[in-house]
Amino acid sequence: MIAGLVLVTQAALADIVSLPVPVRTILPSETLQESDFSTKDFIVNDSIKRNYLLNTKSIDRTVAIRVLTAGKPVALRFIKRKADARKGQAALARFVSGGIEIQGYLVPEQDGAAGEVIKVKNAQTGVSLLAVVSEDGTLVVGEQ
Protein backbone atom coordinates (compact mmCIF):
# COMPACT_ATOMS: atom_id res chain seq x y z
CA MET A 1 0.00 0.00 0.00
CA ILE A 2 2.81 2.46 0.85
CA ALA A 3 4.58 1.72 -2.46
CA GLY A 4 1.37 2.67 -4.27
CA LEU A 5 1.31 6.03 -2.47
CA VAL A 6 4.91 6.72 -3.49
CA LEU A 7 4.12 6.05 -7.15
CA VAL A 8 1.03 8.28 -7.05
CA THR A 9 3.04 11.07 -5.34
CA GLN A 10 5.84 10.85 -7.92
CA ALA A 11 3.35 10.92 -10.80
CA ALA A 12 1.65 13.96 -9.27
CA LEU A 13 5.00 15.82 -9.25
CA ALA A 14 5.63 15.15 -12.95
CA ASP A 15 4.18 16.91 -15.97
CA ILE A 16 3.89 15.97 -19.62
CA VAL A 17 5.83 18.59 -21.56
CA SER A 18 6.73 18.95 -25.24
CA LEU A 19 10.51 19.37 -25.38
CA PRO A 20 12.56 20.26 -28.43
CA VAL A 21 14.61 17.37 -29.81
CA PRO A 22 17.06 17.40 -32.70
CA VAL A 23 15.68 15.99 -35.97
CA ARG A 24 19.22 14.84 -36.84
CA THR A 25 22.41 14.17 -34.92
CA ILE A 26 24.19 17.49 -34.33
CA LEU A 27 27.97 17.45 -33.90
CA PRO A 28 30.07 19.64 -31.57
CA SER A 29 30.76 23.19 -32.85
CA GLU A 30 27.76 23.14 -35.22
CA THR A 31 25.58 26.25 -35.02
CA LEU A 32 22.02 25.41 -34.01
CA GLN A 33 18.98 26.56 -35.95
CA GLU A 34 15.31 26.34 -35.13
CA SER A 35 14.79 24.08 -38.18
CA ASP A 36 17.11 21.48 -36.55
CA PHE A 37 14.42 20.73 -33.95
CA SER A 38 10.97 19.23 -33.61
CA THR A 39 9.08 18.53 -30.38
CA LYS A 40 8.34 15.34 -28.52
CA ASP A 41 6.29 14.75 -25.35
CA PHE A 42 8.13 13.67 -22.20
CA ILE A 43 7.14 13.11 -18.59
CA VAL A 44 9.35 15.57 -16.71
CA ASN A 45 9.94 16.85 -13.19
CA ASP A 46 11.27 20.22 -12.01
CA SER A 47 14.89 19.07 -12.35
CA ILE A 48 14.40 18.38 -16.05
CA LYS A 49 12.72 21.76 -16.51
CA ARG A 50 15.78 23.49 -15.02
CA ASN A 51 18.47 21.51 -16.82
CA TYR A 52 17.12 20.88 -20.34
CA LEU A 53 16.28 23.05 -23.33
CA LEU A 54 12.57 23.88 -23.07
CA ASN A 55 12.08 25.83 -26.31
CA THR A 56 14.01 26.99 -29.35
CA LYS A 57 12.99 30.66 -29.27
CA SER A 58 16.51 31.83 -28.37
CA ILE A 59 18.48 29.08 -30.12
CA ASP A 60 20.07 31.41 -32.68
CA ARG A 61 23.75 32.16 -32.02
CA THR A 62 24.04 28.89 -30.05
CA VAL A 63 26.46 26.04 -30.76
CA ALA A 64 26.64 22.43 -29.66
CA ILE A 65 29.56 21.55 -27.39
CA ARG A 66 28.69 17.83 -27.31
CA VAL A 67 26.93 15.49 -29.72
CA LEU A 68 23.17 16.11 -29.67
CA THR A 69 21.42 12.85 -30.50
CA ALA A 70 18.35 12.92 -32.74
CA GLY A 71 15.10 12.43 -30.81
CA LYS A 72 16.65 13.02 -27.36
CA PRO A 73 16.10 16.09 -25.14
CA VAL A 74 19.02 18.55 -25.08
CA ALA A 75 20.79 19.16 -21.77
CA LEU A 76 21.66 22.85 -21.35
CA ARG A 77 25.25 21.91 -20.52
CA PHE A 78 25.59 20.49 -24.06
CA ILE A 79 25.05 23.89 -25.75
CA LYS A 80 26.42 27.40 -25.34
CA ARG A 81 26.05 30.85 -26.83
CA LYS A 82 28.31 31.44 -29.79
CA ALA A 83 31.25 33.58 -28.72
CA ASP A 84 31.35 37.11 -30.09
CA ALA A 85 34.81 37.55 -28.55
CA ARG A 86 37.22 34.59 -28.69
CA LYS A 87 39.87 33.75 -26.13
CA GLY A 88 43.33 34.73 -27.40
CA GLN A 89 42.09 36.65 -30.47
CA ALA A 90 42.74 40.40 -30.25
CA ALA A 91 39.60 42.52 -30.42
CA LEU A 92 39.01 46.23 -30.88
CA ALA A 93 38.23 47.87 -27.52
CA ARG A 94 36.71 51.26 -26.75
CA PHE A 95 36.84 53.38 -23.61
CA VAL A 96 34.46 56.34 -23.60
CA SER A 97 34.25 58.86 -20.77
CA GLY A 98 33.20 62.50 -20.71
CA GLY A 99 33.42 62.98 -24.47
CA ILE A 100 36.84 61.31 -24.74
CA GLU A 101 37.13 58.04 -26.65
CA ILE A 102 40.19 55.82 -26.64
CA GLN A 103 40.45 52.80 -28.94
CA GLY A 104 42.94 49.98 -28.96
CA TYR A 105 43.22 46.23 -29.04
CA LEU A 106 42.79 43.92 -26.05
CA VAL A 107 43.09 40.15 -25.88
CA PRO A 108 40.17 38.25 -24.26
CA GLU A 109 41.24 35.72 -21.64
CA GLN A 110 37.97 33.82 -22.12
CA ASP A 111 35.24 33.44 -24.75
CA GLY A 112 32.35 35.87 -24.38
CA ALA A 113 28.93 36.39 -25.93
CA ALA A 114 27.26 39.76 -26.46
CA GLY A 115 26.38 41.41 -23.16
CA GLU A 116 28.74 39.33 -21.05
CA VAL A 117 31.51 40.81 -18.93
CA ILE A 118 34.81 39.06 -19.59
CA LYS A 119 38.40 39.37 -18.44
CA VAL A 120 40.73 40.89 -21.05
CA LYS A 121 44.42 41.73 -21.16
CA ASN A 122 46.48 44.51 -22.68
CA ALA A 123 49.11 42.49 -24.57
CA GLN A 124 51.68 45.32 -24.37
CA THR A 125 51.46 46.03 -20.65
CA GLY A 126 50.13 42.71 -19.32
CA VAL A 127 47.42 44.55 -17.36
CA SER A 128 44.13 42.64 -16.99
CA LEU A 129 40.75 44.34 -16.78
CA LEU A 130 37.05 43.68 -17.40
CA ALA A 131 35.18 44.52 -20.60
CA VAL A 132 31.64 44.08 -21.93
CA VAL A 133 31.34 42.20 -25.24
CA SER A 134 29.29 43.92 -27.98
CA GLU A 135 27.33 42.03 -30.66
CA ASP A 136 29.88 43.01 -33.30
CA GLY A 137 32.70 41.49 -31.22
CA THR A 138 34.17 44.78 -30.00
CA LEU A 139 34.88 45.29 -26.32
CA VAL A 140 33.65 48.18 -24.18
CA VAL A 141 35.80 49.15 -21.22
CA GLY A 142 34.74 51.55 -18.46
CA GLU A 143 31.90 54.04 -18.63
CA GLN A 144 29.57 54.45 -21.62
CATH architecture assignment, domain 15-81:
Alpha-Beta Complex (3.90)
Q: How many CB atoms lie within 10 A of CB 13?
A: 9
pTM summary value: 0.61
Neighbours of 11 (CB within 10 A): 9
Q: Which residues in the chain are classed under CATH 2.30.30.760?
A: 91-141
pLDDT at 13: 63
Write the pLDDT tens digit of every residue in 87-114. Answer: 999 999 999 888 888 999 999 999 998 8
* Residue 26: closest CA among 38, 41, 42: 38
Domain 91-141 CATH class label = mainly beta
Task: List where CATH 3.90.1210.10 sits in the chain.
Answer: 15-81
